[in-house]
Amino acid sequence: MSKEKVGIITYHFARNYGAVLQCYALRKYLEKVGCEATVLNAISRVQEKNNSVFHKKDGIKNVIVNVVLLPFVKQRLRKEKGFADFVENYIPHTEKVVNVEQLKALVDREQYRAIITGSDQVWNPHIFDFDEMFFFPFETKAIKIGYSVSIGESSLEDIRGYSKYAKDFPYVGLREKGAKEKVEAICGHSVVDTVDPVLLLTREDWETFVDKSSPLAKEKYLFCYLIDKKPIKQNMAIAEQIAKERGLKIKYIWMHLEKESFRGNFINDASPVEFLNYMYHACIAQIRMLKKNGVDVEVWYGSCAKQLLAIFDAENIPYVDLHEQRGKLDRLNNWYQFASAVKKKMKTVKDASQTLFWFGTAETAMPMVGKLKGYNYALTSLELLDDNKTKNRLFSMLTGDAKFIVCCETTRAFIMRNWYTPAKAYKR
């Protein structure tokens, strides 16, 4: 049976971590659910010029900008190559098209079952890179879908002119709830709230990019990804205060190149893969933070990278190998072995009433259904589990008695509060 063909248009060409990673995630998710998904490599002349390593706009101002940024030439070129390699290696895409006519010809030729615009600010006409191609302004047999689209801060008047195109989209999901009334007005029907595509993938999906033997695994650092220019000093002051209190170094990645970028702890050339690694290896800071704040922490695991165990040894963080369980928690036998090993270890805890058992992922908690009565425990949800009814049901059976649930994104916490009432879900 042939797979349904799906085409995606978004800002995959932007040298922006969020733009590239959300594109990767949506295409990957569609592939996981059985679609043949490809990114429509639509890049107008204006978009190509605007996303060049060197500013190519006309005027003396941009000549000055290029001169000022000369100290960062090598870093900018390395970053450009990192992004280009990521798109080439991990985001299957079509040949380049530069205008609506070429895009329509491509869609007609490939006979897509559906074409998706999104995620990102694809319906925000105030962005310099905006192009009508994001609205698929042509007739086609393909179903037009908007997924997690954003209009930024556009008013209804700003987008009303695109209503004739938006009405051709029978299905539209929004990234921001505040835009719902505006988008419904131009679509002529109700729209739904949807999560950013990066949240559609599991932790295991993202870990395929992680180098667990990286020297970063041995470093103690606070990772800060800065976006806006205006609150830069305020955000840096907050980061420095947190780092000082916890004895951490700081690693900054910023969207812009300014005077602060000359600092030694600003990383100006990270590729998308390196960005993911900086984020991943900073996660051990959670365990370190608990320990530094006087909490007695003991790590229990079924499998663990040797590099991480070396860190635990060096920092006197006790850990326990639940050696009775082996393999990923994707088989019934493994679940049973894991649950038995955890419960056996829990029974050895002398003062269980003063102990919190914190499950680091939903998968590690699910095997414990029916085995946690009388224990204080917390849950962590790194994904919504909405693509697996069995997992969702098992997780929901645990939420009612959990002390708290840790999430990694505000929208997800809101959804979980509705799904798993009366349990509490908090942003991580």
C-alpha–C-alpha distance, residues 268 and 256, integer Å: 9
- pLDDT tens string 52-110: 766 555 567 666 666 666 777 888 889 999 999 999 999 999 999 999 999 999 999 99
* C-beta contacts of 104-110 below 8 A and 24+ residues apart: 104/138, 104/140, 106/7, 106/40, 107/7, 107/40, 107/136, 107/138, 107/140, 107/142, 108/140, 110/5, 110/7, 110/38
Angle, in degrees to the nearest 10, between helices 17-32 and 73-90: 10
pLDDT in the model for residue 332: 60
- Over residues 1-56, the pLDDT tens digits come to 678 999 999 999 998 999 999 999 999 999 999 999 999 999 998 888 877 766 55
Q: In angstroms, rounded to a whole number, what is the distance separating the alpha carbons of residues 177 and 244?
A: 37
Element (H, E) at 144: strand 143-149
Q: What's the pLDDT at 66?
A: 64
7 in Cβ contact with 40 (< 8 Å): yes
The helix or strand, by DSSP H or E, that contains position 166, with its residue range, turns out to be helix 163-166
Residue 390 CB: number of other CB atoms within 10 A?
Answer: 9
Contact 272, 253 (CB under 8 A): no
HEC per residue, 198-262: HHHCCHHHHHCCCCCCCHHHHCCEEEEEECCCCCHHHHHHHHHHHHHHHCCEEEEEECCCCHHHH
Residues 60 and 28: beta-carbon distance below 8 Å: no
pLDDT, tens digit, for every residue of 376-412? 999 887 677 776 788 888 888 998 888 888 876 666 6
> Over 15-57, what HEC string results?
CCHHHHHHHHHHHHHHHHCCEEEEECCECCHHHHHHCCCCCCC
The sign of the CA dihedral 117, 118, 121, 127 is negative
Over residues 128-172, the pLDDT tens digits come to 889 999 999 999 999 999 999 999 989 999 999 999 999 999 999
The one-letter code for the residue type at 212 is K
Tell me the three state secondary structure of residue 154: coil
Are 50 and 84 in contact, with CB atoms under 8 Å apart? Answer: no
Dig out the tokens for 385 from the structure: 């589990």
Q: In terms of pTM, does the model score above 0.85?
A: no
Q: Which two tokens stand for residue 161?
A: 């002119």
> In the prediction, which pLDDT does 181 show?
94
| Cα separation, 39 vs 90, whole angstroms | 11
Structure tokens at 424: 């509490």
Q: What is the mean pLDDT of the chain?
A: 85
Cα gap 193→397, rounded to integer Å: 25
Query: In this predicted structure, what is the pLDDT of residue 112?
Result: 97
Q: For residues 120 and 145, is the Cβ–Cβ distance under 8 A? A: no
User: What token pair was written down for 259?
Assistant: 């005077």
Asked if residue 339 has pLDDT above 70, the reply is yes
What is the chain's length? 428
The answer to whether residues 279 and 408 touch, using CB atoms and an 8 Å cutoff, is no
Instruction: Kindly report the backbone phi and psi dihedral angles of residue 110, in degrees, each rounded to the nearest multiple of 5, phi listed first.
Output: -80, -15
Q: Which amino acid is at 282?
A: A
The residue assigned the tokens 């605007």 is 50
User: Would you say 4 and 113 are in contact if contact means Cβ atoms under 8 Å apart?
Assistant: yes
What is the average per-residue pLDDT within 260-264? 80
Q: What DSSP state is assigned to residue 266?
A: B
